[in-house]
Each structure stands twice: as structure tokens, then as C-alpha cells.
Amino acid sequence: MRPQIATLLKGASIDQEITVMGWVRTFRNNQFIALNDGSTNQNLQVVVDFTKLDESLLKRITTSACIAATGKLVQSQGKGQSVELEAHSLEILGDSDAEKYPLQPKKHSLEFLREIAHLRFRTNTFASVNRLRNALIFGIHQFFQERNFLNIHTPIISASDAEGAGEMFRVTTLHLENLPKTDAGEIDYAEDFFGRSSNLTVSGQLEAELAAMAFTKVYTFGPTFRAENSNTTRHLAEFWMIEPEVAFNELKDNADLAESMLKYVIQYAMDRHPDDIDFLDARLAEEEKQKPTNERAEMGLKEKLNFVLNNNFERITYTEAIEILLLSPAYKKKKFKYDVSWGIDMQSEHERYLVEKHFNKPVIVTDYPKNIKAFYMRQNDNCEPGKETVAAMDILAPGIGEIIGGSQREERLEKLEQRMNEMEIPTKEMFWYLDTRRFGTCKHAGFGLGFERLVQFVTGMGNIRDVIPFPRTPKNCEF
């Protein structure tokens, strides 16, 4: 196997004849090539003897040109690198017009880089982000596989709305300029490919529940879609979700699993890519310096990640959280943008106050008001009239607020049907979901983790569009 630059920089293959391939970052003095192959942000210095190379070849060693260099790897005599390659032969694999190449050797804004997302992988920032994204993907699978979970592929095309929010992308083969209509003048979906209205999935949870009723422990890791017209730094139209479901688990078990998973995958990524964490930590620190003092983050990236790793998560009920917020100096001095009262869906500023100001540790909030949560969440017994709650939970993390949301699922058929009727969710169409409550029901629980939200947290990137290679957002479907 051809050695990667990350391996060579650690001292492997010293005094050996090797061939490296990669892309030119810089070429100075017709002698020193900074070569990068994406395995690390560090470049390998390739030293060439320009007196022995054809002048036409030298002119083709431009920024972003793809080359192969063969020679001996030696200890470097200069500063800035431990080893270098003394190349005796060079081949241009792909030319690059340096004057037209959009990534000039200077700092580019993240907004500009989104416009050339097909090339931004070649920058140090996006190289680090994507290496960490890869580590988090592998770490998540390893966490669940070590615990004997079964990975389930759930449908991308679905006829159900798991969240009941209605923000779905329609899937159809109907001719949009000549839609078939029923006698009542409505679109006749019986003529469509699936014979009914269908959409891109918003969640694999409901199908995962079906599998959990047979395999006990399952998880999904797949793409999900929301047609939510939100142009914010926290929303994407296409993103990936991790959704475990566990039979016989109750809410506390669910919270334990989520806390363990979060700590495991963060540690996994930090252990495998410390250089990328260091780079992004320094990048974030520099970015924070440009902000007004009152808007700067209180923790650096590494400090924030260790804050999660080194603390047991505080566990409180929603009612306790609201009481804390109402008694807080921030509320009394009217520093919250959004009001606080029992029954609200807490905003990020409220969640961050609980984590960063009050408890100074990650927080798991449980038992949310029934009216702000989904139909499938288990209704708590013995609730005060007007303050009915469900066995839901959110994990709140510093700098971001909610990072994981989950619940114990409603296993009682009568309660579930009653709640679906209240929310006008058709029980007849959802017979397959209700069947799990008819035939061998049991308590079970699960949660959802938006993967890009996790990558954003671990990399310190301020905009979620910068942690997925090709973001899909309102009015944007490039590349």
C-alpha cells in the first residue's frame, strides 16, 4: 500500500525509497513542494533539484496540481518538519491553472467556501471537520455493536409522518403539469407510483420500534428530511439521524444509554484525531477574538468537550427546570429574549443557562408537558390536572442546548389510540404501528441524535452547513 503522509510524518519509512501522491499546497524557490494527501493537515515537504527537472515540468507544479513524487524519505535539516522527501522523479497526474483556482493561499470566509463546496474539502478547516465526522460515524457504530445492538435500515420513502409535524418532502411520479384528480377535485394519488401519498422520511423511529419488539436492541443511522423553511445556523433540510430503540427500557435506562453514547463517541473522536481537535480549537479561539466580549463563548473547544466527558449529567424534571429559570437572576433582570412559564418549549437560551450558568455540567431534562411533545411518548400517571406530562427527555450540552431528544414510548394500546385521535393521526393507516401494542407489547424507549448537530458540537463549527459536505437548505440544492 502507498504510504499516507500522516504515517510518514510520524517517522515511518525513514531512509526508504517511497512514492507519495497528493495535491500541491505551495511550491517555493523552485525547490520545496508542500504536498498534502488529505490524511492530515500537515504537509510533507518534497525537495526537488530544479537543475535536473525540465523547465516545462517545473511550471506545472502549481497550487492544487496533483502529483506523484518518488525518492528517499530523510530526516529534515530545516525547521517546521521532522522529515522530508528527497525526490529524484516527479510526475504531474493532474494540472491545475493556479490563476483560476478559487482557493488562493489566503484566508477565505466560510460563506465563500459554501459557494464552492466541491472544493472546500481541500482546506484545512474542512479536512479536519470531515476526518472528525468520519471518526464519529465509526465511533457510533462501534458503540452500539459492542453492546450487541442490531443495525436496522429503515425506509427513506414513507407514507407516515413520525413527528406529526407535516413538514415533509413529497415523493411522486405524477406529471405536475397535468395532475390526475378525483371526482372531488383532489389529487388522485391512486394514480401515483405507490398508489398513495408518500414522502421522504422524517424519522426511522417508528420502524425501529417494530424491530425492537423482536430483537430487543436496535439502532438506525440514516438520512432524514424536513421541509422546514428555516434559514438558520441549526437547520438542514437533509441530515442524518441516529435512533436506538430498546425493548424493556424505561426513561432512566434511556438517559443512561444516551449519556454513555455521547461520552463514548466524543472520546473516540478526540483519541483518533487529536491534531484536528487542536487545529479546530485554535481556529475557534481566533474566531471568538473577533466577537464583542459579551458574545464570546466561555469555553474553548477542548474545554467544552472535556466538560462533557468529565461530568456526570445532572438530571432534573421539566417542572424543576422552569422553577430554576423563574428564580434565576437572568429572568429577574429580563435578560432572556423569550419568556419563561410552565408549558413553553424551552429555547436554546434557557437550556444553555441551565447547563452553563446554573449547574455547570450537562443536563438531562425529563417529563415534559404532554402538549408540546409527539403522540408516541408515554403519558405519565398521576399528573396534576392541566399539567399532564410525558416520559420525554432532552440532553442539554454547553454552547448548543439540546443535542439529544428521546422518550419512553407509549406501550398501552388504549392510551396510544386516544392520543393519536387527539392529534388527528389516522389510526387505521397506522395499524402496523399499533399492532406492536396488540401482540406482545412491553415498555420500551429510544432517542434521536441529529448527527450533524453532534459533528457541529465536536468540531466547534458555528454553522451546521459547514459540517455536512453538501448542505441542503431552502433555495439551495447545489452540487
pLDDT in tens, 67-103: 999 999 999 987 778 899 999 999 999 999 999 999 9
Encode pLDDT of 247-266 as tens digits: 999 999 999 999 999 999 99
Residues forming CATH 3.30.930.10 domain(s) in the chain:
122-167+202-466
Q: What is the rounded distance in angstroms from the CA atom of residue 451 to the CA atom of residue 89?
A: 44
Residues forming CATH 2.40.50.140 domain(s) in the chain:
5-101
Residues of the chain with pLDDT under 50: none
What integer pLDDT is reported at residue 162 of this predicted model?
Answer: 64
Sheet holding 198-200, edge to edge: 157-158, 198-200, 170-171
State how far the alpha carbon of 208 is from the alpha carbons of 128, 136, 282, 435, 476, in Å: 32, 21, 40, 14, 31
What integer pLDDT is reported at residue 163 of this predicted model?
Answer: 65
What integer pLDDT is reported at residue 104 of this predicted model?
Answer: 84
Distance of CA 426 to the CA centre of its chain: 32
Residue range 5-101 in CATH 2.40.50.140: yes
Dihedral angle of Cα 91, 95, 97, 102, to the nearest 10 degrees = -110
What integer pLDDT is reported at residue 107 of this predicted model?
Answer: 86
Dihedral angle of Cα 36, 39, 45, 48, to the nearest 10 degrees = -60
CATH class assigned to 122-167+202-466? alpha beta
Return left, alpha or beta for 74; rule: phi > 0 is left, psi -120 to 50 is alpha, else beta: beta
What integer pLDDT is reported at residue 164 of this predicted model?
Answer: 59
Q: Which residues contact 272 (CB under 8 A, 6 or more apart)?
A: 135
What integer pLDDT is reported at residue 403 of this predicted model?
Answer: 95
- For the four alpha carbons of 219, 223, 229 and 230, in that order, the dihedral sign comes to positive
Q: What is the rounded distance in angstroms from the CA atom of residue 384 to the CA atom of residue 375?
A: 19
What integer pLDDT is reported at residue 12 of this predicted model?
Answer: 80
Report DSSP state, residue 409. Answer: B
What integer pLDDT is reported at residue 231 of this predicted model?
Answer: 85
Residue among 475, 298, 445 at smallest CA distance from 378: 445
Q: What is the rounded distance in angstroms from the CA atom of residue 450 to the CA atom of residue 457?
A: 11
Residue among 227, 222, 231, 208 at smallest CA distance from 166: 227
Q: Which residues contact 193 (CB under 8 A, 6 or more apart)?
A: 171, 172, 173
